[in-house]
């Protein structure tokens, strides 16, 4: 606080879904039709940095995303209205940079100030590299703090969820479940969820850490940027079309995902690499099968993505354990989950895939890596 502007900056990483979220049963509260599970990246390369500033001198509330001015989306407005109830009556504590002391800014003053948000991603936005997960989780962190709300990370994940579903999982490191927040098991009941059930689910639908980043630190991630273009069908529209038209998605949400979620959680706890990688691959393909079963169908993968998937199966067949699992979100980019000891070998092989050069391959460990493939 400099007497005029109260400002706070946070950095948040992306998370990659291993059990996918695809489909909502409430668009406003963002209640997913199934629970999901992700791994949060532990690196500096794939992050959003967001600064939230509150000031009476701002004419309008504004979002500047990667240098471009945009208005607040309805989702950001929903986050702000959720937050208003959580601001403590006494207001927010802030460090006064002029006086050099801690002060309290009353709630009524905070509410009068316009909100200025500036956010940058150090990777392609809206191209299936999970930019919304880092961007909106970062915004939730900033808003919580700047308004003095003191929500714990679970509560903060509810706030992030209102901005973008997948964002709620980026609040925690390691392996994270986003609980759907309700107990309905029949798809028609889920699709026709009542307003009372939505209200209840909205309180319960949040992220829970399964294991932190130190639990299975053999794991590394390779991100193959098969395109930097914005995806043609935004995930919100894609999900809605799938929920409305795909019978496979209905079956997947109620009959496939719950078992996979249970099995992958156990595989993570037991560090069972074979089961873990198999579930990841099947889950990715199940998401894209749902998209293909949508009418009109949605195609997110391109030739490079498909080549990377085939290559992964070829490599895995020739080694004593799976070298990698691929997973692809609503875009063409491909995430390869591997072990650090396989990283150099894997990167060498994927560099030969048409459409990829070194600049399009990122990975989340920078240290020298002992490899098993040098001989």
Contacting residues toward ligand PMV, per CB under 6 A: 17, 20-22, 36, 130, 132, 164-166, 235-236, 329-330
Tokens matching residue 272: 């069972």
Q: Quick one: 36 or 121, whose CB is closer to ligand PMV? A: 36
In the bound complex, what is the minimum distance in angstroms from residue 355's beta carbon to ligand PMV?
21
Among residues 127 and 197, whose Cβ is nearest to ligand PMV? 127
Min dist. Cβ of residue 132 to ligand PMV (A): 4
**Least distance in angstroms from the C-beta of 153 to ligand PMV:** 18
For residues 277 and 47, give the distance between their C-alpha atoms in angstroms, rounded to a whole number.
25
- The least distance separating ligand PMV from the CB of residue 313, rounded to whole angstroms, comes to 22
Alpha-carbon span 284 to 327, nearest angstrom? 5
Query: Which of 7, 235 has the CB closer to ligand PMV?
Result: 235
Shortest distance, CB of residue 140 to ligand PMV, whole angstroms?
Answer: 13
Nearer to ligand PMV, 165 or 181 (CB): 165
CB nearer ligand PMV, residue 26 or residue 329: 329
Residue 177 CB, nearest distance to ligand PMV (Å)? 11
Least Å distance, CB 22 to ligand PMV, is 6
Provide, rounded to whole angstroms, the least separation between the CB of residue 117 and ligand PMV: 18
Structure tokens, 222: 């390779």
Q: Which is nearer to ligand PMV, 335 or 345 (CB)?
A: 335
Q: What is the CB neighbour count within 10 angstroms for residue 230?
A: 12
> CB-wise, 151 or 162, nearer to ligand PMV?
162
> Is 91 or 331 the residue whose CB approaches ligand PMV more closely?
331
């Amino acid at each position: 606080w400099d007497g005029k502007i109260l400002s706070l900056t946070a950095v948040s990483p992306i998370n990659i879904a291993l059990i996918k979220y695809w489909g909502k049963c409430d668009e406003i509260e963002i209640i997913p039709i199934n629970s999901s599970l992700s791994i949060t990246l532990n690196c500096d390369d794939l992050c959003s940095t967001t600064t939230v500033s509150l000031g009476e001198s701002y004419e309008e509330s504004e979002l500047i995303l990667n240098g471009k001015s945009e208005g607040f989306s309805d989702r950001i407005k929903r986050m702000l209205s959720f937050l208003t109830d959580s601001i403590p009556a006494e207001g927010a504590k802030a460090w006064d940079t002029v006086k050099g002391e801690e002060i309290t800014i009353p709630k009524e003053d905070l509410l009068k100030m316009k909100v200025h948000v500036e956010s940058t991603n150090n990777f392609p936005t809206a191209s299936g590299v999970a930019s919304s997960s880092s961007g909106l989780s970062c915004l939730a962190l900033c808003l919580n703090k700047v308004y003095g709300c003191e929500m714990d990370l679970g509560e903060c994940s509810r706030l992030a969820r209102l901005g973008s579903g997948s964002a709620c999982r980026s609040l925690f490191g390691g392996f994270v479940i986003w609980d759907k927040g309700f107990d309905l098991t029949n798809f028609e009941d889920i699709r026709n969820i009542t307003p009372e059930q939505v209200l209840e689910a909205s309180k319960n639908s949040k992220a829970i850490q399964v294991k932190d980043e130190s639990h299975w630190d053999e794991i590394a991630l390779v991100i193959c940027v098969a395109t930097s273009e914005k995806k043609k069908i935004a995930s919100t529209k894609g999900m809605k079309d799938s929920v409305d038209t795909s019978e496979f998605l209905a079956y997947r949400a109620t009959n496939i995902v719950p078992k996979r979620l249970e099995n992958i959680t156990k595989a993570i706890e037991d560090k069972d690499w074979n089961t873990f990688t198999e579930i990841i691959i099947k889950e990715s393909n199940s998401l894209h099968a749902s998209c293909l079963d949508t009418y009109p169908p949605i195609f997110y993968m391109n030739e490079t993505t498909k080549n990377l998937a085939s290559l992964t199966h070829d490599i895995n067949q020739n080694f004593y354990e799976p070298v990698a699992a691929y997973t692809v979100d609503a875009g063409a980019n491909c995430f390869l989950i591997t072990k650090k000891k396989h990283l150099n070998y894997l990167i060498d092989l994927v560099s030969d895939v048409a459409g990829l050069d070194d600049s399009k391959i990122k990975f989340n460990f920078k240290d020298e890596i002992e490899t098993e493939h040098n001989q």
